[in-house]
Each structure stands twice: as C-alpha cells, then as structure tokens.
Amino acid sequence: MKKYFSLVTFAHTIFALPFAMVGFFLGLQHRTDEGFPFRELLLVLLCMVFARSAAMAFNRYVDRRIDSRNPRTAGREIPSGAISPRSALVFVLGASGLFILTTWFINPICFYLSPVALLVVLGYSYTKRFTPLCHLVLGLGLSLAPIGAYLAVTGVFHLIPLLYSGAVLFWVSGFDIIYALQDEEFDKSQRLFSIPVAMGRRGALNLSIALHFVCAAFMVSAAWMVSQAHPGFDWISWLATALFLAMLTYQHTIVSPNNLSRVNRAFFTTNGFASLIFGVLFILDFYL
C-alpha cells in the first residue's frame, strides 16, 4: 500500500482537492433540500481519489523508460522494480473503472462526462512527446475539480465554478512550468517537449508569471461574483483570495534562472499551502 501511495504521489492531491470542495460548497447554495449531503460529499472525494490515482499511475507507467534514464526519477517505483509495469497498468484500469462507477451513483451528467474527464487526465501523459503546451493540459485536468464537484451537487453548469476552474488551469500550468525547469537539459537530450525547452529558463519563468497573472484575474472575478450572488459571503473569501495570490507571488521570488535550489519549495510547499488555506477559509466563510 505504501508503494502505491508513493506511485500516485498521494500527497499532491492537496493541489486540486480544496478547489473541488469550493465547487461543492458553492453547489450547496443552489440546493433547496435541508440537511447536509454527506453521500454526495463522499462520492466527490472518491472521484477525486480514483481519477487522480489513475492519472498519476498511468503517467508513471507511460514514462517508465524515460524515468529510468533520468537521475532525478530513476528511483521511482516502476524503474526501481518496486512495482511492475503490469501491476501499475492493472491499478490504472481499476482506478479508472471505480471512477466511472462512482460517477454513476452521483447523477447522469457526471456519469456521461466521466470518459471525457478520464481522456483529459490520462491523455496528459503523452503530450510532452509532441507539444510544449503539456503544462496547460495538466492544468486542464486539475481544473475539472471545481466544476466537477459543482455538477455533482447541482447537475448543472454555472459561471462561478467555471471561473475557479479557469483559475486552477492557469495556476497549475504556471507552477508546473517552474517544476519542469529541473529537467530542461534532460528533456532536450531525450527530445521531449516543455516550455523550459522551448523558451529557456528565463522565458519559461516569465511565461509562468504571465499565466499566474491570468489566474489572479480569474480568482478576483470569481470572488467578486460570489460576493454579488451570495451576500452571505463576506471579507473572509476576499482574504482567502488575497492570501492565495500572495503565495503565488512568493514562489516567483524564490526561483530564478540562476537558482533552482528552491523549486521543490515553490512547487509543493507554497502551492500546497496556498490551495489548502484558500479552501479552508472559503468553507469557513460559507458557514459563518
């Protein structure tokens, strides 16, 4: 079990899960029935776990030969022999099947869209073989969390969760570019595509900043629409937005073209805390 948790880097679920909860609690604003929907909450959490586990395990399976040649990733579970490629693929199929099955218990629209969601999150693994826009595809996969959770509660689309999905798209794309800086030389040697390979370190960091500016525009727009549509939401949601954007700014102050020593801090620690703090404060505002 420990090996499979490591295979899917379970701790990285913290990136998208708080935004899924934002979509979930936004959906509750449009429900008229009394009582908290614990069943739907459990199903949404299971969907998050199954979809992300399938995506990460598939990425490790598809990249197993590339990972074995990269000193940074050679110790991962499949290249090191801790998990066989066949076992990883069986895990992917099982997690994908459980994801689709879980959506069937939610509502028809989630069930019908579940193959589309899987196509995005699984298809990402192939994109760095032919396009430097692979970072945006990863962002698109995680951006399904807010609108997916909202659909699970309401069964309909709405602009506000779509705005939060847009924010996640550009947020994740931006910080994944920073993370990819570590493999710039290796990717060049293997003829793989990424923004750092296409634009160099300085250009990649500038594009990451630009993407995070777009993310900020989505976050502020969503916060404004929440305050207009739901007067009960107040200053705490704005504080959550401000803290999130402050942490986005901070990660760009600790990484430079000549100093990549703090990439992991920028990638996991800063973004993990940004998402978690935003989600907790947003839900707190919901209850207050």
Q: What CATH number is associated with residue 246?
A: 1.10.357.140
Scan for tokens 């192939």, then name that residue: 126
Rg (CA), the chain: 19
Over the stretch 123-166, which tens digit does the pLDDT of each residue have?
999 999 999 999 999 999 999 999 999 999 999 999 999 999 99
Q: Give me the pLDDT at residue 31, please.
A: 76
Q: Give me the pLDDT at residue 266, please.
A: 74
The ranges of the chain with pLDDT < 50 are: none
Q: Give me the pLDDT at residue 216, please.
A: 97
Q: Give me the pLDDT at residue 288, please.
A: 75
Q: Give me the pLDDT at residue 102, please.
A: 97
Scan for tokens 């999905």, then name that residue: 165
Q: Give me the pLDDT at residue 9, please.
A: 67
pTM: 0.94
Partners of 256 in beta bridges? 259
HEC profile for 132-197? CCHHHHHHHHHHHHHHHHHHHHHCCCCHHHHHHHHHHHHHHHHHHHHHHHHHHHHHHHCCCCCHHH
Which residue segment(s) compose the domain that 226 sits in? 2-287
Q: Give me the pLDDT at residue 6, please.
A: 65
Domain count within the chain: 1
Per-residue tokens: 176: 């994944």
